[in-house]
Amino acid sequence: MRQIFVSDLHLQNERPDLVRAFLHFLDTDARRADQLYLLGDIFEAWIGDDAPFPGTEPIIAALRNLSDDGVALFFQHGNRDFLVGEQFAEEAGCTLLDDSTVITSADNRPLLLMHGDQLCTDDVEYQKLRVMLRNPMFQQNILAQTVEQRLTMAQQLRDASKEQGSQKSMAIMDVNAEAVTQALVSAETALLLHGHTHRPAVHKLQLPDNTAAQRIVLGDWDHKGWYLEWNDNGFQLIDFNIEGYAD
Ligand code: MN
């Protein structure tokens, strides 16, 4: 049994190197897995399954191909691609996961999967925005708008997030320790895997009942790419060079 996890690729038209790296990844490392988990912000922006950004087709086709060849694909929403829906899932051969999902790791332990944005509770402003963006009624309203209107809104959200991000401290942008503990306790697990913060690491912590727990953080794809591989012997956080994928 071999599981692979990735998040925060932020695939976009402006970064053909990342798209190439991901397509290569899907055709090599991911192909050797039994399960591939896409844990959010795979796409820099997503304004609806009816309007995928230019250049998405080969990605969807490659995912579909992998799924047809027997790799089970799972997709969890990030704060950028929260509008990914059933149509995408069907086309790409993925199963959509809830924002908090407990799976069984390859070495047979309960493992909590999250994108991670919901753990950044010190960022009160963002958590308020998140409640609105994740509201099904609000999403229906967005999806009913024209593609142009949605593109404008997506750009505004990105600009606002960049502007606020530059003003917020590194601590506010990271996960809140209490939120992490709470998530683990309520999921009854001692293992959490998430992305979002772009701070790849394996953290040790202790739960209130003194259980030793671990929080594994995936890295984002930029100059380097990251994935987590989990097999019968445990897990390994792996990075590789993206530089080779420039033209
Ligand atoms: Mn994110």
How far is the centre of ligand 1, averaged over its atoms, from the C-alpha of 79 (Å)?
A: 5
Alpha-carbon span 65 to 197, nearest angstrom: 30
Q: How far is the CA of 209 from the centre of ligand 1 (A)?
A: 30
Ion ligand 1: protein residues whose beta carbon lies under 5 Å: 41, 78-79, 196
State in Å: Cα 174 to ligand 1 middle.
11
Parent domain of 228: 3-245
The rounded Å distance from CA 7 to ligand 1 centre is 8
Contacts 24+ apart (CB under 8 A), 127-130: 130/79
Residues 6+ apart with CB under 8 A from 242: 17, 18, 21, 221, 222, 223, 224, 225
pLDDT digits (tens, 9 = 90+) for 18-71: 999 999 999 999 999 999 999 999 999 999 999 998 889 999 999 999 999 999
* CATH code: domain of residue 195: 3.60.21.10
The alpha carbon dihedral of 209, 107, 114, 175 has a sign of positive
Q: How far is the CA of 4 from the centre of ligand 1 (A)?
A: 18
The alpha carbon of 83 and the centre of ligand 1 are apart by a number of angstroms equal to 13
Per the structure, the count of domains in the chain is: 1
Q: What is the mean pLDDT of the chain?
A: 95
Residue range 92-108: average pLDDT?
98
> How high is the pLDDT of residue 54?
86
Task: Please give the distance, rounded to the nearest whole angstrom, from the Cα atom of residue 200 to the centre of ligand 1.
Answer: 13
